[in-house]
Amino acid sequence: MTGRVVRVAVLAAALALGAGAGVVRAADAPDLGWAQGREPLEIDADSLEARGDDGLVVFRGNVVARQGDLTLQADRVVVTVDADTREIREVKAGGEVRIRRGDVVATGREAVYDAARGVVVLSGDPKVWRGRDLVAGDRITLYLAENRSEVTGARAILHPGPPPDRAEP
């Protein structure tokens, strides 16, 4: 399936990576949210495996998911779906994870989205850039509904003035 685009509308809410960095004011919080709008989510991957009995869809190799101006890149993405409701339960992105939306870029070795709690956890040397500003830590937890985040082992580099037009990494 190399190079094939898989359009999966049900995933539109799955990778909801939103609000920002724990030490940045709420108004300055990075916005990485997958829109729940009507735009299709397109996923390119070297392979796709659907395990219907387990409620899993596994994308492997050079995974690139796009919806509007949001892009997720990872070595592997595993989506867990409730067998009865077909609602997304969890999305795990692993390997070299990179999420970009506008001037905001988040990286780490793993990103896990818990749909029931509306929480995203970035781990494995997670970093979030907004323009030249950087927030890093051991673990970055994004509470989407509350538009807040927590950074464990936090380190921030914040530059004065308005952010530039594009992210650095």
44-93 per-position pLDDT tens digit: 999 999 988 888 999 999 999 887 777 889 999 998 888 788 777 888 99
* β-bridge partners, 127: 107, 136
Alpha-carbon dihedral 145, 70, 41, 124, rounded to 10 degrees: -70
Beta-carbon contacts of residue 6 (< 8 Å; ≥ 6 apart):
42, 43, 44, 45, 48, 59
φ, ψ at 163 (rounded to 5°): -70, 150
Task: For the full predicted model, state whether its pTM sits above 0.75.
Answer: no
CATH superfamily of 5-157: Lipopolysaccharide (LPS) transport protein A like domain (2.60.450.10)
